[in-house]
Structure 1
């Protein structure tokens, strides 16, 4: 195995292949996990379907609620083109990651950083993953804390203020102890396939409800107040969809879409546990997950926009609560979306914990005590952030704009340019260069607008 995979020049971080290119090409379909054959006899791997569900769960979160607002500020065709471009770039960056894993025989994002730039590269990648994932998990828990009590109260009649089940902090602690921590404690990410499949069906249910309710809300929009209807718009132009539309809010379109397709920290852990793993099979998992996510994103954004047009809320379900108060289906789908967001949190635990392990305990064998303690510490950190930092979404908006862009665009492009021995004018290297430049421009663009928005406010 050592002879085949080659050796690493410690100073340069370049892969030095010891075999002719024909043999390297033939090895493309071999798993870099061949050394774990004994392990695979005990744990045969995760099926293709469950791997797709897990990756979709990593991709889709609360971002689905904001895409209709993005479409309102870019137009139907503008949104479609931008969403397709981001989805294709996301799939291509995963393709580069898998190609580098085959070449270097490593199966972690952190080790790719080590191969490319030595120990500093590994530390930077691990740190970026930890910061991004803690920020994402804390933001998701903050959504649960603020939205779940309101969702529950809609099912109740009468005054139940002061009840423990309407207190966001109490609910959050119960959920973290009873759901998040036990699921995050599982030793393999593949075990979350069942919860991820449930999350997928919740998202499909959400999209179906958005389609059905399009015909339940008239345009021009009316508000129902004490059994009287008040028309809030008389302009017939308000009910005409726009193919292209640009405003100052359009600047947030690409960053929002890019973060809606972030799954790169989960790709390699899922690849490690895939049944009959190969680069082609994992790429098919990625393409299927991104394509299904694209479809659900597009349908929910389109019909959400065609329901409210320019009056669409930045969080889509708020509009339905306003114009269809106490609608049982809308209230149910709100709970489903919150539950789907909740089930994403344990999945994001895995790459965050793995990054911590690789930074501080990479030379130690697996230990249940260490595994449990790190999971507990991460759980406590994200819980405290969600409870005591009210502006956490703004704080991690800046952090997320930089870390997410690095993980999706910058690192895959940069590492491939560094590690690949192809000619610079080859299609893959040119693609990696475009990915790198796109990531740098997008990251700076996002940060500039977020900071500008803060200053303006």
Structure 2
């Protein structure tokens, strides 16, 4: 028997694989770990609420509930285009991220319900086809509604699905030991079959650390009629250090992926393009009522993000198992699918405001714009291989513009009733400067990461 020691086996899948989305996205999502994650989540939530406050005050004094119109009144055509471009980029990115989840998770849900052990290549397990079917059959009909208020019920149902996800996550934390019994049942030099070897428990960020023996199988043969799994001759030796790394939370971690952390969090808390349309449809609307709605919404999202990030990490640490995801995939898929039409409304509103501001409402135009947006997003999801770069780039650019730069700039320019040297104006100016620094710094770090770790290379995306 020939022996060799394997220090690192790369198990990274190619772009055409049907791996779960959580495996593709987990690196950036967990680089900040426990304490850093909690601090950043809370900070971004507070900044987002302050930004909404600035936006509502500006809308009242600026005399408009349309983001692009506020930009035009503040800075003319450049301000209008800045608002238009930021809203389009942010919402296109949001729609793409939701459709990415459909692309990678819906095939796994179907495979689980049909009892298939692996993806055998049927068309109904092809994520690209499923994205198109969901877009045409579910998203497009909801997107054709005339008013955003009609989607309130679907939005509430999608929120309930995410609450279910968080509850299951917390429950799993109390049920799963660490390390899993799997590691105790396979002692030194225990033979594993191919299915066990590729089990997610054995993988650590697409790599496995192990020592193995390669048996000479040239003299043997496989019985094509046998139902038993062939033994690969690979022997796994668990190490004590692996247990400690697996079951010890890391409170602060800084690496090349940390550059994506704040942009992703900013991306997650951007609701600003929807604030003004919702404000305009409130009965007996007032700035205080809309601020209370925003406070409640941001608080709910903060709690859900915090619980899912904390318990998800403390349950699985550096490992992300399919056990949890199979329990809640359907709920998450339902939630993100019902959210896409809500995100589509501001995009269509921005396009209508920019190109058809003087024309009356037209159902044909309403339908064609929605269809064009969905076609573009489907093409983006089908041909772009990774979701993390979309999160990082749009979070650093469009999300930063919508949270920090534009509300503060519009406030400073349009609110005339407050002196410039007042505390409110000085705070808004500092907020604006911080936003500019953050956008430049984040984009620089992400571009440097792309240069040093290009997609497809070892250690890349």
TM-score, length-scaled by structure 1: 0.77
Aligned match for 1:445, one of 441, 445, 461:
441
SS of 1:155's equivalent in the other structure is helix
Whether contact under 8 Å (2:28, 2:388) holds in the other structure is no
Stretches of structure 2 that go unaligned for 5 or more consecutive residues are 1-19, 184-191, 202-235, 454-461
Matched, 1:320 2:317: no
Structure-1 residue corresponding to 2:259 = 251
**2:242 aligned with 1:241, yes or no?**
no
Matched residue, 1:86:
44
Q: Contact 1:77/1:244 (CA < 8 Å) preserved in 2?
A: yes
Once the two structures are superposed, what CA deviation does each residue of 1:27-50 show, in whole Å capped at 9, x if it has no partner? xxxxxxxxxxxxxxxxxxxxxxxx
Matching of residue 424 in structure 1 with residue 424 in structure 2:
no
Partners of 1:251 and 1:449 within 8 A in 2: yes
Pairwise CA distance, 1:157: 2.5
- The correspondence of residues 362-373 of structure 1 with structure 2, limited to 5 A, is 362-373=357-368
| Alpha-carbon separation, structure 2, partners of 1:81 and 1:213 | 24
* Corresponding position: 1:101 with 2:43: no
Q: Which moved more, 1:79-88 or 1:156-165?
A: 156-165
Q: Distance between the aligned counterparts of 1:65 and 1:203, measured in 2?
A: 19
SS of residue paired to 1:138:
helix
2:370 aligned residue (360, 371, 375): 375
Partner of 1:456: 452
Residues 71-121 of structure 1: per-residue CA shift (max 9 Å, x gap): 854353332222111100000000000001111220011111011011221
* SS class of match (1:154): helix
Q: Residue 166 of structure 2 contacts residue 304 of structure 2 at CA under 8 Å; is this kept in 1?
A: yes
Aligned equivalents of 1:305 and 1:170: distance in 2?
Answer: 32
Name the residue aligned to 1:386: 381
Note closer, same or farther for the CA distance 1:216–1:233 as it changes in structure 2 (3 Å cut): farther
Instruction: Give the alignment partner of residue 297 of structure 1, picking from 302, 305, 315.
Output: 305
Q: Which has the higher helix share?
A: 1
Q: Residues 218 and 68 from structure 1, CA distance in 2 versus in 1: closer, same or farther, beyond 3 angstroms?
A: farther
Q: Structure 1 67/275 Cα, relative in aligned 2: closer, same or farther at 3 Å? A: farther
In the alignment, what sits opposite 1:280? 288
Q: Cα RMSD between the aligned structures?
A: 2.8
1:270 and 2:278 correspond? yes
**Cα gap change, 1:165 to 1:244, in 2 (>3 Å):** same
1:220–1:234 CA contact under 8 A, matched in 2: no
Equivalent residue, structure 2, for 1:209: 168
- Give distance in 1, aligned partners of 2:387 and 2:253: 30
Tell me by how many angstroms 1:331 deviates. Answer: 1.3
CA contact (8 A) 2:267 2:391 kept: no
Task: Please say which of residues 259-268 and 233-242 is displaced more in the overlay.
Answer: 233-242
Residue 246 of structure 1: SS of its match in structure 2? Answer: coil
Match of 1:214, SS state, is: helix
User: Does the residue aligned with 1:220 lie in a helix, a strand or coil?
Assistant: coil
Partner of 1:45: none
Aligned residue for 1:40? none
Please give the residue correspondences for 1:21-420 in structure 2 after superposition, counting only pairs within 5 Å.
Answer: 72-158=30-116, 161-221=120-180, 223=182, 234-235=240-241, 237-238=244-245, 239-309=247-317, 311-312=318-319, 319-321=320-322, 324=323, 330-390=325-385, 394=389, 397-420=392-415
SS at match of 2:175: coil
> In the aligned structure 1, how far is the partner of 2:424 from the partner of 2:139?
40
Question: CA offsets per residue over residues 165-215 of structure 1, 9 Å max, x none?
Answer: 212222112111111111111111111111111110111111111111113
Partner Cα distance (2:326, 2:306) in 1 = 22
- SS of 2:397 mapped into structure 1: helix
Cα distance, 1:379 vs. partner? 1.7
Equivalent residues of 1:132, 1:403 under 8 A apart: yes
